[in-house]
Structure 1
Amino acid sequence: MDLTLYLKPTNFSKFKPTPWIQSKFSLGSILEKNQAKLSLDKAQIVLLGVEEDRNAVVTGSAKAPNIIRQHLFNLNRISPRFKILDLGNIKTGKTPNDTYFALRDVCSYLLEIGKTVVILGGSQDLTFGITKAFEATPFNLVNIDPKLDYKKGVKSINSETYLNFIHEKQPCLYAQTILGYQNYFIDSLELDYCYEQDIDVKRLGEIRYEMAHIEPYLRDTDILSFDINAIRQLEAPAQYFGSPNGLYAEEACQIGHYAGMADQLKIAGFFNLIPHLDTNELSSKLMAQVVWHFLEGFYFKKVEQPTPESEDFNEFLLEIDDIDLPLAFYQSHQTGRWWMKIADEENQYERMIACTEEDYKMAAQHEIPDRWWKNIRKLNRLTK
């Protein structure tokens, strides 16, 4: 595939280092060197900007990718051996739909050659274009969002309705999770819809109470779609939503770190930042730091896959009256993380899913964890 047909290379001369950094130790320095010397096949992870917001509820986010870059490039390089490549920005199509398809083509190619992709948006409806790269492969999606971007019966796509198109046109969607929603922005009928579709939803208060409990959702996801509107406006003014409540900056960075560490995550997109609404570029700086934490998590992550034969995991088999086969849990010796094994009704398909120690403790008390039930339903639906 000739990526030059789709991409505009990053012009590093436009990004000036701030006086307080040592340029040779900055992420921008290593990215500029890599642009000249690192081939795509040797890169571990790639950055990609998408200057598209024509289907946004409020436009302006098309200007975000390069402004986020300006602040991202000033941050620490993480490691001089980090093989990270900035591919530039996707050329905007004649219509937003053209941009979705260009994004699909580029992401499909990068996934095919085994690259993890970080996308700097742009509006969040670009998530639909990303999912089109998974049209033949089951995938999991995690949204960091204060609300549900789904409107029943709506047939036009925008940054508030793109989930309509994913739910209706992407049959390979296996699981979806919405993290950080705020109850006063979601109607009870919308929550009913989530339960009917087996969409996991976690309120802002739930994830704030125990941030570590969101890590299994991120560990199992293929796509992360991060809406800056999930962060409270005081810490991220460049948003159209403008809520006094939301994630704190540190929590947003923690989510970025967990996502970077995720074993199977393939594409992470950061959306809806509107630079002309910003104050002292505070939002752009924060989004750059969230992306930096994602990159740091990626660089230091430990990919683990438990099996009954592996000596790197403890295996726990629990007998529960309502289940024919014992529940199998695995804990890593190295990281302390947990998994559980599920199988379909015919016991032909098995799947290892991330979980928490609390899920294991619940099963040890002869209670079947909600995570087990939901994933069994999803697996049975997928295999029928």
Structure 2
Amino acid sequence: MIEFLAPVSKIVVAHREVLPAGTLGKQILLHAKQHELPDLKEVKFAIFGCKENRRDVNFIGSEINFDSVRKSLYSLYPGNWKHKIVDLGDIEKGDTVEDSYFAIQTVTSALLKKKIIPLIFGASQDTLYAQYRAYDSLGNMVNLVNVDHRFDLGDADAPISNKSYVGKIIIDKPYNLFNYSVLGYQSYFNPPQEIGLMDTLFFDAIRLGEVTKDITEVEPILRDADIVTIDSRAIQFADTGIGGSPNGFNGREICAIARYAGISNKVKSFSVFELLDFNANEAGAMLIAQLYWYFIEGVNFRVLDDIFNDENSFTTYKVPVNNDVLTFKKSSKTGRWWIELPFISNLNNKLKRRTLLPCTYGEYLGATNQELPERWLKARKKNEI
């Protein structure tokens, strides 16, 4: 993968030298010279940027760099972390967009195979397609969570763009997508037919107001994700200077989401797309840097509470609801809840790890009042198709 990676810019390397001792910049391993990658042994996180933005519907030839975000991230102090971080530099634009996709897929796949979590700085969000395709070699179905104001489904037969790429993820072989969830969508940015299609496909679509009313409700969705990605335009303009919409997540809310993504034992890659240079916007660069900080913080505090072959590690509850008997499991370590999906337990190996669906205590209480959990129903209906 080294042939696809350009070193971290000299500006960032120079900035790193003047940082105080103990900051992340002094601890992150750096790809500072061409073709000289740091040793990846015992590394848990690998930062790299993707500068491809030619499929942005508003592309007018602009170039992207991530120096401001890097400098902000490097200036932060780590928590009580035990994992090593490396910054691999950037993937420059290829001769074609497809060349860029291939490079992103190759680098991401190589890191995943080494059990290293890619932390991706992204330009236009269509490159998420390449991040997703990197999972092809892992052999499991994939749950994708997109924190976004739009669904980005688009027309699967039309050319891919940063507002129309999920359709390609759904229909292109190999078929690895099990579930697609959008957190924080805003109705006025989405065609009614896409809202209907999300429901028809039994995907999860949660409006901005629903998430901000009780942000803890999205934790189970993030706990069940393999990929978590954030469109920076899902954040309100006042906090980032991106996108132009006054409505969106504020800084505290989006950082909480990033931390929930980190504490999930299943999330294997994390990205933020639609980034700008931020040269004149220090606050925007710092907020994006803090998203990565909170994700890394979450990973460092992961607890293995989802291994269910030890009966002493959880409590099982059976709840009769109409003609069904729902089985809930509560972790003795963390108090987190799951619900069993017996209807997919005998399917192919790609789906076997999906037989337990993360849920909330509230969904358990709802079941005791004869209410079937909505995500459990969607999983069953998806299996019946």
Q: TM-score under structure 2 normalisation? A: 0.89
Equivalent residues of 1:275, 1:281 under 8 A apart: no
% identity of equivalent residues = 30
Contact 2:318 2:328 (8 Å CA) reproduced = yes
Moved >6 Å (runs of 4+): 33-38
How far apart are residue 347 of structure 1 and its match?
Answer: 4.7
- The amino acid across from 1:151 in the alignment is G
Going from structure 1 to structure 2, the CA distance change for 1:308 and 1:33 (only over 3 Å counts) comes to: closer
Say if 2:108 is the partner of 1:107: yes
Decide whether aligned partners of structure 1 residues 200 and 258 sit closer, same or farther in structure 2, where only a CA change above 3 A counts: same
Cα distance in 2 between the residues matched to 1:335 and 1:12 = 44
Q: Distance in 2 between matches of 1:28 and 1:346?
A: 46
Q: What does 1:1-384 align with in structure 2 at a 5 Å threshold?
A: 3-11=1-9, 14-17=12-15, 23-32=20-29, 39-59=39-59, 63-79=64-80, 81-135=82-136, 136-152=139-155, 155-170=158-173, 171-237=175-241, 239=242, 241-275=243-277, 279-307=280-308, 309-323=310-324, 326-344=325-343, 347=346, 351-380=355-384
In the aligned structure 2, how far is the partner of 1:286 from the partner of 1:200? 26
Instruction: Give the residue type in structure 2 aligned to 1:365.
Output: N
Distance of aligned partners of 1:74 and 1:261 in 2 relative to their CA distance in 1, 3 Å threshold: same
User: Does structure 1 retain, via aligned residues, the 8 Å contact 2:25–2:74?
Assistant: yes
State the Cα RMSD in Å.
2.5
Distance 1:62 1:127, change over 3 A: farther
Mean CA deviation greater in 48-57 or 182-191: 182-191
C-alpha displacement of 1:33: 7.1
Q: Which amino acid aligns with 1:328?
A: T
Return the alpha-carbon distance in structure 1 between the equivalents of residues 94 and 30 of structure 2: 29
Moved more, 242-251 or 108-117: 108-117
CA distance in 1, matches of 2:254, 2:245: 15
Note the alpha carbon deviations across 1:50-93, whole angstroms, 9 max, x for none: 11111112348852433211111111123464311112212431
Q: Which amino acid aligns with 1:108?
A: S
- Residue 38 (structure 1) shift: 6.2
Counterparts of 2:190 and 2:220, CA distance in 1: 24
Task: Report which stretch shifted further, 10-19 or 257-266.
Answer: 10-19
**1:193-228 C-alpha deviation (Å, 9 max, x unpaired):** 000111101111000011001111111111112101
Q: What is the aligned length?
A: 373
Unaligned segments of structure 1, at least 5 residues: none
> Tell me, which stretches of 5 or more residues in structure 2 are unaligned?
none
Could you tell which deviates more after superposition, 328-337 or 207-216? 328-337
Q: Deviations over 1:125-182 (max 9, x none)?
A: 1100011112343101011111121223651111111112112215210001000111
Instruction: Provide the rounded CA distance (Å) in 1 between the counterparts of 2:134 and 2:30.
Output: 29
Structure 1 length-normalised TM? 0.90
